[in-house]
Amino acid sequence: MKILVVDDERDVEQLFRLRFRKELARGEMELVFAFSGEEALATLDGFSRADVVLVLSDINMPGMTGLELLRRIKSEPPPVPVCMMTAYDNDQFRNQADALDCDGYVSKPIDFTELKERIRTLAPAN
């Protein structure tokens, strides 16, 4: 299963690769990284959208925000589940994300045990 992780902080890639090393080694998932909303859309355009089972996106990013990215992803078929990540866990962000058909919400620092369970729920392996 292919998961697109979108965050403007580049050290997120190393953290995710470390925390998902067993799943990556077993070939259970492929992590793809984008460091802006614009890069994420270009990455999605480079894949068959059906190949991407989940997008994990930070909300606060320079340029295109995660909420704008969510809106853009949800406006084009086929549907791709999007889970928002943020260090600013508040009702305003949750309400905006929910209004845009967000599929989940993860607070930073990330509880990777919980995130792995959420990934299994949102994007079960075939």
Q: pLDDT tens for the chain, 126 residues: list them.
A: 899 999 999 999 999 999 999 999 999 999 999 999 999 999 998 888 778 889 999 999 999 999 999 999 999 888 899 999 988 777 888 889 999 999 988 888 999 999 998 888 876 544
**Do 57 and 84 touch, CB atoms closer than 8 A?**
yes
- pTM attached to this predicted model: 0.92
Task: Classify burial at 75, counting beta carbons within 10 Å of its beta carbon; exposed 0-12, middle 13-18, buried 19 or more.
Answer: exposed
Quote the pLDDT of residue 123: 60
Q: Tell me: domain 31-110, CATH 3.40.50.2300, correct?
A: yes
Q: At what angle do helices 66-74 and 37-46 cross, to 10 degrees?
A: 30
Residue extents of the structural domains in the chain: 31-110
